[in-house]
Every structure is written in structure tokens, then in C-alpha cells.
Chains A and B, each alone.
Chain A
Amino acid sequence: MLDKIQWLGRTAINVIAGLGRAAFVLGSAISHIPNVRKGLPLFIQQVYSVGVLSLIIIMVSGTFIGMVLALQGYTVLVDYGAEGSLGPMVALSLLRELGPVVTALLFAGRAGSALTAEIGLMKATEQLSSLEMMAVDPLRRVIAPRFWAGFFSMPILAAIFSMLGIIGAHLVGVEWLGVDQGTFWSVMQSDVDMLDIIKGGIKSLVFAFVVTWIAVYKGYNCIPTSEGISRATTSSVVQASLLVLGLDFILTALMFT
């Protein structure tokens, strides 16, 4: 009994200490005015490796998910003679939910894991230590550009995901299953609010913040051995994915009810 209470207490302390460390890492990384001359090239380089290199997987997934949505939606709607509503159904599912959430999950797997492993390996090979000894703060030099790049890229990736999803749905719904082209677009236009797009955007911003934060913190805080890096990478993806799903529920409850 006493053991369990002790364990509970220690776990609670560890969790809180971890949160504190994570907040400190992020805080010191981004709480300064970036130096444009030095910072911008680093940021752009990271946007390339974190964002641009994730484009393929996001585009392919978006298209396929849109196509599947159209197929599934059509078979249900056609029974009620409501296949004209296929457009808004697909667009709303993508903009409100699937765009932000699936992009965040794919991003955590594709880019988040790479960030964690890269930073962890820099730590294990003493590159972070040697930066410190050269009077260059690794939090600013290594962590900050990676964080900003992830935070900036992911919402754009989510928008591209939704856009291609709608094109995929058009391909299946209109070109293949014969839904009327004019109805598809006009009903979509009248049923989808600007507010839906904004709320979806807010979701992506929150997810981008969380996924990138976890990725850089896990790498910076890892135990600098091969086993430590592999564990940090796994837990970066697992924790980011679970947090995205949990936060999605909360945000949906707050914004869409």
C-alpha cells in the first residue's frame, strides 16, 4: 500500500518535473528576438527538411482519404436521394476534423520522429555540448529554428491535405459516380462557413505547437545513448499522437457545440 502511494507520488513529481523542463526548453528557445541575418537561413533550411519533405506523404494521404470519403458518403447518401450533399459532407469532414488531425498524426510520424532522433544524436555525439562551449546556446541555435519551422509548416500542410482531399472527392464523386458537378460545388460553397475554416485552422495551430514541442523536447532531453535515442523517438511519436487525439476531442467540444 505504502509502496503504491510512494510510486504515485514519485510518478506525479516526475511528470511535473518533466513538464517544467519541457516548458523551460521551449521558453528559453523562443523567448528572444530572433536574429534575422543568422536565424532566417536556419529557419528556411528546417522548413525544407521538416515541411517540404513531408509534402509527398501529406498529398498522397489527403487525396486518398478524400476519395474514400466520397465513396463511403455516396453509398449512404444515394439511398436518401441526397447525393447532392456529398460536396459539403466531404469538405466539412476534412476541414473540421480529418485535415488537422490526420496531418498532425502523419507529421508526428514523419517529421517529429526525425527531429527527435536528430537532436538526440547531436546530444549523444557531444555536438550540443560543444556548441555550449563555443558560447553558442544550443536552445537558440538548434531547438528554436526547428520548433518554428514545425509550427509554421504543419498548418500549411493541413490546408494542402484538405484541398487535395476535396479534389480526390471530386474525382470519385463527380467524375466516376456521376454526382452533378454544379451541385457538388455550389452546395459545398453555401454550406461551408468561413468559421469552419478558421476553427480547423486553430486546431492545426494547436496541434503543430504540441507535436513540434514534444519532438524537440524529447530529443533535447533524451539519454544520450543509442537506446535512449530510440526510446525518445518512440515516445515522441506516441505521446504526440495521443495528445493530438485528446486535444481534438476537447477543441471539438469547445468550438463546435
Chain B
Amino acid sequence: MSENLVEIKNLTFNREERCIYNGISLSIPKGKVTAIMGPSGIGKTTLLRLMGGQLKPQSGEILFAGHNIPELSRNALYEVRKRMSMLFQSGALFTDMSVYENVAFPIREHSKLPENIIEKMVMMKLEVVGLRGAMHLKPSELSGGMARRAALARAIALDPELIMYDEPFAGQDPISMGVIVRLIRDLNDALGLTSVVVSHDVPEVMSIADYIYIVAEQKIIGQGTPDEIVKQDSELVQQFIKGEHDGPVPFHFPAKDYQAELLGGKS
């Protein structure tokens, strides 16, 4: 049985007054694709940022390969981050560089490789995401889906141990969606990576994940392999994976009673 690369224990995180997570625990096994699903605005991106050390939790532990992320010094955190990589929801390409330069950036920053080797590495990564032909374009000349794929090439440029994908499927056409689904799986298996996929695209996640966590209401409401998830008889889980709008998972941001607000005015 393989060990866990990331372990989250009793994590509590509040944003101003609002509680985003209330004592959740989960673990990301090494070498597997773990998916985190949940309705929009529940805090999935927030969870990835917590794992990357960009946000500090109020309490709890986030262990990455034995290092407790919230307690690391600035330098130690930067060392640990060299071993992880994150695909941002928006892509977050550097707008002043071409696609090629974007992918080459992390390699140039963290290695002293000669230019001809960097070139080969960049070409390989771009070929993988199907954007070798677009390498001289600037990010402003890419479509949203292309930008996401370019960002994916940049995220895997240094073959990290852990990749966190924030909504990798959003904005992709069915063909590139299929390509990305396969890519996540292949990268994971071929390079021995550990992947965390945050998404609400149920069928895609079901098809690649080894293990799935479903978050809602500040905690984990369901977990298991895709087969187990489908069979779970929790109402919450069933509503989410079937995409029913009527059920125990609220679609609305917490608010006052609708009728009272309409009658009583804004304040």
C-alpha cells in the first residue's frame, strides 16, 4: 500500500466571518489521481491555495511529504513549492511573454540547462498539449481553452511530484477535453506524479479519478472510488453526481429568507 503525499488533518479555514472549512481531513495518496468535487463557491480553489501555502488556515495541519505547510518558513516553503505545481483556473500565463517563453520560464528559473536542451524540453511539453504550432503567439492571441493548455504545459515543465489542476476541463471543446482527460491520466502514470483534480464535471472526473472527495457545507460529504461513489446512498452525494437542482445541497449563496428580503427592502 502506498503512502500519502499530502495529508490534511482537522483543517479549519475562515474567510472574514464566513467559515469555508470546518475541521476537514483528507489524504492524497502518492501516484494516484485524486479528485475533489463540489458545488461552485464551496472553496475548492481555496483548498488548493491552502495546500500551496498561499493561504494560512486558522487551525489544522497540511502535511506535504512530511512538511507541515502552514508552519514552514518562507525559504522552506519556496523549497517545497519547487516540488509542486498548480494549474490555475484562469491559466495565469505571463502576458508579456510568448507561449514558448512561458513554458521555458520555470525551467530557466530553476535549472542551469543550456538553451538547446531547454528548447527541446519546451517543444516536448507543447507537443503534448497540441500547441507546438502556437508557440510564438502571445497569451492575448490565444482562446481561453488554448491558454489553459499552454498553462498546463508550463505546469508540467519541471515534472513536479504533485500537480494541482484547478478546473482543467472548463472551457474545452469535447476533443481537447478528451485529450486533457487522457493527458492527466497518462502524465500521472508515466511520470509517477500525484495529481489533484478540482472540478465539477462529473463524468470526466468519474472517468479518471482513482479516488473522489465530495465537499459541501464546510466538510466532506462523500468519498470513495468512482464505483463506490455511484453506489453511495447519501442524498447529498446522489444529488451532486446526478446534477439535480432540487435537493439537500443548496444552489444559493447563504442568504436571508427570499420572501422577507423582497418585502422588507435591502437593508
Contact = CB atoms under 8 A, between A and B. Distances in A.
Interface of A: 38, 122, 125-127, 129-130, 132-137
Nearest to B158: A134
A127 B82 contact: no
A133 B81 CA distance: 6
A130 B79 contact: no
B81 A129 contact: no
Contacts of B109: 38, 134-136
Contact of A127 (B78, B79, B95): B95
Contacts of A137: 78
Nearest to A137: B78
Given A132-B54, A133-B54, A134-B106, A127 B85 contact: no
Interface string B80-94: 011011101010111
B52 interface: yes
Contacts of A136: 106, 109
Nearest to B109: A136
A133 B78 contact: no
Given A127-B94, A127-B95, A129-B54, A134 B88 contact: no
B110 interface: yes
Nearest to B75: A137
Interface in B128-143: none
Contacts of B92: 125-127, 129-130
Contact of B110 (A122, A129, A135): A135
A155 to B, nearest CB: 27
Contacts of A125: 90, 92, 95
Contacts, number: 43
A136 B106 CA distance: 8
29 contacts: A38-B109, A125-B92, A125-B95, A126-B88, A126-B90, A127-B92, A127-B94, A127-B95, A129-B54, A129-B88, A129-B92, A130-B86, A130-B88, A132-B81, A133-B54, A133-B81, A133-B84, A133-B86, A134-B81, A134-B85, A134-B106, A134-B109, A135-B78, A135-B79, A135-B82, A135-B110, A136-B106, A136-B109, A137-B78
A207 B259 CA distance: 58
Chain A CB count within 10 A is highest, among B79, B90, B92, B109, for B92
A100 to B, nearest CB: 31
Q: Which 5 A-B pairs have the closest CB atoms?
A: A126-B92, A135-B81, A130-B92, A135-B82, A133-B86
A122 B90 CA distance: 12
A137 B77 CA distance: 11
Contacts of B85: 133-134
Nearest to B93: A127
A127 B105 CA distance: 13
A127 B88 CA distance: 10
The interface centre, meaning the residue of B52, B54, B109 with most chain A CB atoms within 10 A of its CB, is B109
Contacts of A129: 49, 54, 88, 92
Nearest to A45: B96
A126 B95 CA distance: 11
Contacts of B110: 135
Contacts of B105: 134
Contacts of A133: 52, 54, 81, 84-86, 88
